[in-house]
Structure formats: structure tokens, C-alpha cells
Amino acid sequence: MGKATGFLEIERHDRKYAPVAERVKHFQEFVVPLSEKETRDQAARCMNCGIPYCHGTGSVQPGTPGCPVNNQIPDFNDLVYQGNWQEASRNLHSTNNFPEFTGRICPAPCEASCTLNIDDNPVTIKTIECAIVDRAWENGWVKPEMAPAKTGKKVAVVGSGPAGLACAQQLARAGHDVHVFEKFAKAGGLLRYGIPDFKMEKGVIDRRVAQMEAEGVTFHYGAHVGNGGTDPRKLVEEYDAVALTGGAEASRDLLIPGRDLDGIHFAMDFLPQQNRRVGNEPLGATREILAEGKHVVVIGGGDTGSDCIGTSFRQGALSVTQLEIMPAPPDHENKGLTWPNWPLKMRTSSSQAEGATREYAVLTQKFSGTDGKVRKLHGVAVDDKFKPVAGTEFELDAELVLLAMGFVHPVHEGLLKTLGVELDPRGNVQANTADYQTSLSKVFSAGDMRRGQSLVVWAIREGRLCARSIDTFLMGSTGLPG
């Protein structure tokens, strides 16, 4: 694939970011794309290795190498190298409904499993993927794919995040009458209300929704199923199948002294507000949470915490400190032990590079404040067993504290309790990976609601495979890809 000697002749060269001083002034995307020649040169580096781990193993176990949606990466690399962009787009869309999502926000496990990563120079797969799909949109190659015939079957999809969107699109293309129920005013789930616009502008979602509507998908907005709105039991009665794809939205809390002080919020109370501002969506009676002029502390070292950092800087925070209870990871992984799996190593996100202070192996013990408002965070260093180390106590100025410690499971109240679906030991919806069916007949589940907090690319995979199972359930067989 690519040029036989490309990896020997061409150095890795990836997309750049706009300067920090410039990009923190706005909420638009700031990645600087490669030119066509540069992209084709990077595709030429794909070395036709004997076993392309970048494809993914096809396993559903987290941590396995490669691409969860099994993108045919060497194939589209070769097509880009040859300049056949339209065929590269067709190839890419055959495995991934929304490559413009993953081309922007996926951490690229495919690159970690690239053979050239043994030498720390993997093919720029994520950049090439994004270039393919962006070119496809620019040239009008992305069109509605209409079902050749209608089946007469109706399917309800609850939730319009990446799993729900992928599931709905696949089912519509199989000929079913698909209705998506979304509690918010617009589709996208965390893609729209969690991921900041500077990482992915929301027009990227809007054009996909328009494509899906042209394919026959009906979106119902402001439809909070099971929470005083649509009764989920009615959906089960009226539809031939129901897919639960509502995500894992129960945030992990930090129940320590001072937690009730004003100014301490979950990340997912903070981030959606800014996305709504950018999207000109009214906040209604919701009290505004803003970082302007404040010392901000973000607790949690993952992607959500990073999104809080970038948003805080753009709002005008005085300082941003990120705390992580885990020890600092090594600067470099041991390739012999980790490759082709996803390695644990030090990574710096674009938001962290904008000026955040990061502290590792620290435990937040309490908050203190005046007049009911948080003013200080009190912490301590911890050892390798997460026990406090005497004499390492510290205080931080903290006028806004954002809890970004992940999500424990889907929200149980409302939808899940009303339906009475069985839950697994972690509190997720119990649905096996063979057919994605829950304990209730006709009811399926996919994405974070089924497997727990994970990546957008895993949600797309789950939605596609769930659609395949629903199609088989309704029709006895399926032509949807596995």
C-alpha cells in the first residue's frame, strides 16, 4: 500500500495548530490542514506491513489494537496516495458513518498500533481520514443513500449521540421507518453538548442530520423519554423495536467537606452552556457558569477535563489548574511491552498546552470558602497506594471547581427504571455483544449506555452492530455490514 519505499523516504508530518495567543480568542476549530500534496505524501508512508494492526482485530474487548470500526486503513491510504479521493471516500464510509467526527476527536488508536509506531513515526491516519471526508463534503460526494425498498417496520432510537445516529442511519438504509427521540433541542448528544466547538464545530453534525433526514430518519426534539415526557413503555408498544442509546450521563461525584459550596460544578453542567452560547441556543432559567476572571481548578485528567481547560481559557480564566489522582505517566512507553496496544504515556492536549498547570498523584480533601462560595481547594499528595503523604498538604485558589472525573453509568431514573431493563454489575444496561438485546423483548441497547463511558469511535461501532442485530430481529436476516 502507498509507496513501497515511502516510509524510508518521507518523514512523518502532521497537522499543526494555530498559535495559542490567536486560538484562545475564539471557539472555532484551529487545526491547520495539510495541503493535498502533503497528505498524499503522508499516505505514501503506509508500508504494506504483513499484519495491519491498524485495521483492528474485530474484537469487542476494550484495549485491543487498531480501529474499533475496522476502517480499511491501508486501502484508503493507497487510494489517497494515488489521488483517487472519491474512491477513498467510498471506502472510508463503508465502515464508518461519520469519519468527520472521528477525524477530529478520536485519539487514534489506529496510529498507536501502526507498525511504524514501533519507531515513534506512525502514519498520520487520523489526518488522512479527516482530509478524505472533508474533501468528500466539499466536492458533493456525500449524498443521501436511500433504501431500495421499505420494510414497513418502525424502530425508535432513544438518544442521538454517535451510537444513536449510527444505529438510526443504518436502519434507515435497510428500509425501516426510524424515529430518533432526543431530549435536547438538537441532535448530537455529547458531540454537540459536551465536545467544545473549537474541537468540532457543530455544522459538522448538522449536515449529517440533514443527510439522515433525506434518508427518511425522523427526529423528535425536546422528547425526554421516561422523564415526564414520552412514556418508554408506549414506545415498546407502538414500535417494532426500540434501541436505547442514551449514553452514560451519571457523573462521578466528589463527596468531601465543602462540596455544597457555590462554584463547584460537574463538567457536564459547565461545557454544554458554552456550546449553547456558540450555537445561539437560549439557556433559559439555567444559572450561568463562567470562568471569566476566576482561578479555575479542574479535577480529572481525561478528555472532559481537557475540554474544561480550553473552554475556561477562552472565557477569560485567570488561571487553570488540573488535578489528577493517578501518578504522572511515563514520557515514553516500552514498545516491546505495549505495541500494538494503546500505551499509557504522557500526553499533552491542545487545551493543556494553552497554559494549564497539571498536578499528578494528588487527592482533594476538602473545599473552603466565604459567604457560601468556594475560595480554596485543600489537597495532599498520595503514594502509589493512593494514601495521603504526611507533610505534603497544600492549598489552591479555587473560585470555580469543575468535576471531570468521568461517568459511572447511564442515568437510571426515568427511562431505565420505567422500562425495568436489567443492569450489569457496573450499572450499565445489560445487553450482550452477540445481538445487543436487553432483558426485554424488542428492546436493544448500544453505546455508552451499554458498555460504559468510552470513545466516539466505539459508540459508532456499537450503533452499527446494534442496527445489524435489530435488522436481523425484524427481518430474519440482514444485509447490513458486520
pLDDT in tens, the chain (482 residues): 678 899 999 999 999 999 999 999 999 999 999 999 999 999 999 998 888 999 885 444 444 689 999 999 999 999 999 999 999 999 999 999 999 999 999 999 999 999 999 999 999 999 999 999 999 999 999 999 999 999 999 999 999 999 999 999 999 999 999 999 999 999 999 999 999 999 999 999 999 999 999 999 999 999 999 988 899 999 999 999 999 999 999 999 999 999 999 999 999 999 999 999 999 999 988 999 999 999 999 999 999 999 999 999 999 999 999 999 999 999 999 999 999 999 999 999 999 999 999 999 999 999 999 999 999 999 999 999 999 999 999 999 999 999 999 999 999 999 999 999 999 999 999 999 999 999 999 999 999 999 999 999 999 999 999 999 999 999 999 999 98
Picking from 68, 162, 55, 173, the residue whose alpha carbon sits closest to that of residue 478 is 173
- C-alpha distances out from residue 355 to 72, 298, 323, 358, Å: 37, 13, 14, 10
pLDDT at 62: 47
Contacts of residue 262, defined as CB under 8 A and 6 or more positions apart, other chains included, come to: 369, 372, 373, 374
Q: What is the pLDDT of residue 284?
A: 87
Per-residue pLDDT at 57? 59
Phi/psi for 381 (5° steps) reads: -75, 150
Amino acid at 63: G
200-223 residues labelled b (16+ CB within 10 A) or e (exposed): bbbebbeebbebbeebbbebbeee
Cell representation of residue 109: 488508536
Measure the CA–CA gap between 324 and 405, rounded to whole angstroms: 9
Residue 50 has a pLDDT of: 85
Please give the Cα distance from 180 to 213 (Å, whole number). 11
Report the distance separating Cα 377 and Cα 395, nearest Å: 6
Query: What is the spatial distance between Cα 405 and Cα 390, in angstroms, rounded to a whole number?
Result: 25
Give me 168's grid cell. Answer: 438510526
- Choose among 203, 211, 353: nearest CA to 278: 203
Reported as a single tens digit per residue, the pLDDT across 439-475 is 999 999 999 999 999 999 999 999 999 999 999 999 9
Model pLDDT, residue 470: 98
